[in-house]
C-alpha cells in the first residue's frame, strides 16, 4: 500500500514513546521525545531541567547551539547528511539535538530560525566508540544583542 502523505506515528521504542518520521520530513520535532528519521534516532532537547534527563547520555552525539559568548541558542533548522545525502532535516525549538547514528562520518548544518544569525554553520563528526561526543555549533552575536 502506498501512502501519499505521511503522518507522525507514535511507536514504542525500548519502553519509551517515540515517533517515526519519513526520511524526507522537514518539520518541527517534538521536544524531549525520541524520534526516528531514516533509521536515525534523534531528540530535540536542552531547555530547562529536561537537559538533565539521564536517558540523553545514551545518545553518542550531542549537538549544541550557542553564540560566540557561549550562551545557548534555541530554535534551529537542522540538516544531517552522510556521504552528501541528507538523512534528516527538521526544526528544533531546543538548544541541543541528540543523535544515535551508525558508525561513519556525518555533517550537521544548522540555521537559526526566527533570529539573526547570519550564514548557516556546520560541523562534521563521527560517533565515538563509547561515551558522548559534544559537537558545538556557534553563531556570531548580532550587534543588537
CATH of the domain at 108: 2.60.40.10
Residue 33: how many other CB atoms lie within 10 Å? 15
Domain that holds residue 115: 9-139
Name the strands in the sheet holding 106-112, side by side, starting at the edge strand that comes first in the sequence: 85-92, 76-82, 106-112, 121-125
Take residue 36 and report the three cell numbers written for it.
526516528
Model pLDDT, residue 6: 29
Q: Count Cα neighbours of 16 within 13 Å in the Cβ-side half-sphere.
A: 14
- Kindly state whether residue 1 falls inside one of the protein's structural domains: no
Distance, CA of 1 to CA of 17 (rounded, Å): 25
Domain count, the chain: 1
Model pLDDT, residue 125: 98
Model pLDDT, residue 15: 37
Q: Which residue has the higher pLDDT, 113 or 134?
A: 134
Whether residue 110 is predicted with pLDDT greater than 50 in this model: the reply is yes
Model pLDDT, residue 116: 66
Beta-bridged to residue 69, according to DSSP, are none
Distance, CA of 55 to CA of 112 (rounded, Å): 26
Torsion of CA 110, 92, 59, 122, to 10 degrees: 0
Coil, helix or strand at residue 111: strand
Q: How confident is the model at residue 51 (pLDDT cuts 50, 70, 90)?
A: confident
Lowest model confidence (mean pLDDT) among 3-12, 39-48, 72-81, 117-126:
3-12
pTM of the model: 0.79
Distance, CA of 65 to CA of 8 (rounded, Å): 26
- Kindly state whether residue 4 falls inside one of the protein's structural domains: no
- Kindly state whether residue 118 falls inside one of the protein's structural domains: yes
Model pLDDT, residue 24: 41
Q: How confident is the model at residue 34 (pLDDT cuts 50, 70, 90)?
A: very high
Amino acid at each position: 500500500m502506498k501512502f501519499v502523505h505521511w503522518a507522525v506515528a507514535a511507536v514504542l521504542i525500548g519502553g519509551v514513546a517515540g515517533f517515526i518520521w519519513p526520511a524526507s520530513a522537514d518539520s518541527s520535532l517534538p521536544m524531549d521525545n525520541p524520534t526516528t528519521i531514516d533509521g536515525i534516532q534523534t531528540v530535540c532537547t536542552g531547555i530547562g531541567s529536561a537537559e538533565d534527563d539521564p536517558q540523553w547520555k545514551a545518545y553518542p552525539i550531542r549537538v549544541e547551539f550557542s553564540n560566540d559568548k557561549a550562551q545557548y541558542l534555541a530554535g534551529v533548522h537542522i540538516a544531517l547528511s552522510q556521504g552528501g545525502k541528507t538523512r534528516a532535516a527538521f526544526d528544533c525549538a531546543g538548544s541541543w539535538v541528540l543523535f544515535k547514528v551508525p558508525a561513519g562520518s556525518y555533517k550537521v548544518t544548522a540555521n537559526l530560525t526566527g533570529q539573526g544569525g547570519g550564514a548557516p554553520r556546520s560541523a562534521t563528526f563521527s560517533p565515538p566508540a563509547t561515551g558522548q561526543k559534544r559537537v558545538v555549533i556557534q553563531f556570531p552575536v548580532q550587534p543588537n544583542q
